[in-house]
A = this chain, B = another copy of it.
Amino acid sequence: MGIVERKEREKEEMRKLILEAAQKLFLENGFEKVSIRNIADAIEYSPATIYLYFKDKNELLYGIHNIGFHKMIQEFQPALSLADPFDRLVEMGRRYFRFAFENPEHFDLMFIMNAPMDALACRDDIWDEGRAAFGLLVKCVQDCMNAGVFKYQDAEVAAMMIWSAVHGYTALFLRKRLDMFEESRRKELMEDAFTLFIETIRKGL
C-alpha cells in the first residue's frame, strides 16, 4: 500500500522542481524581474499549480533562502576547521563577504530582503537558519575568549558586534552605497576597513 508514500514523494519532488526552477530564474535575472508566471512557464505548469505547493511568493522565496543557507554553511566548513580560533574568525568574516559577492541574490534573500522574514512572521515561526549560523559565530568567538585572544567575556555580544561590522560593509556594497568611491578605491577601502577591524578587535577586544 505504498500509494500514499509515493504521492508524498511526488509532492516533495514537485516542490523541489518549483524551487529549483525558481532559484535558477532568480539567480539569472534577479528577484525583481521574475514572476510566478515565468516560473510556471519554465516548469511547464500553470501559475495556479505553484500555489498548491507554496502559500504565496514569500513562502517560495523563503524556500530559496533556505537553499542559500545550506550553501553558505557548506562554504564556511573550511574556515571552521582552522586550528587557531582567531584565524577561524577572520576566515569566517572573509567568507561571509565572499559569499555575498559571489551569490548576491542569495545573500539578499538571506540577510536583506523583507519577503522571507514576512513568510516567517506570518507563521509566527522563529528564524532557525539565522540562529544556527549566528551560533557558529558565537562558538568561534567563545573559542577566542577561551584562548585568551579577547579579554571581553560575553561571546554573544562580541559576536553581534563582529557580525554587524562585517555585515555592514557587505550590505552597503551590495546595495551600491559604496559606488560613490571609484571602483579600485572601493575594493581597497573595503579590504583595508576589514583588515583594520580585525587588527582593532585583536588589540582592543
Contact = CB atoms under 8 A, between A and B. Distances in A.
A32 B117 CA distance: 15
Interface residue tally on A, bucketed by range: 35 or more
A87 interface: no
Nearest to A178: B160
A119 to B, nearest CB: 11
B197 A165 contact: yes
Given A168-B167, A172-B111, A193 B157 contact: yes
B180 A127 contact: yes
A160 B204 contact: no
Given A112-B175, A167-B168, A172-B111, A204 B200 contact: yes
Interface on chain A toward B: helix, strand, loop, or mixed SS? helix
Q: How many copies does the complex hold?
A: 2
A180 B134 contact: yes
A158 B192 CA distance: 9
A130 B173 CA distance: 13
Contact of A192 (B157, B167, B203): B157
Interface of A: 32, 111-114, 117, 121, 126-127, 130-131, 134, 152, 154, 156-158, 160-161, 163-169, 171-172, 175-177, 179-180, 189-190, 192-194, 196-197, 199-205
What 9 A-B pairs are tightest by C-beta distance, nearest first? A204-B204, A168-B168, A164-B168, A203-B204, A164-B169, A200-B204, A160-B193, A165-B165, A167-B168
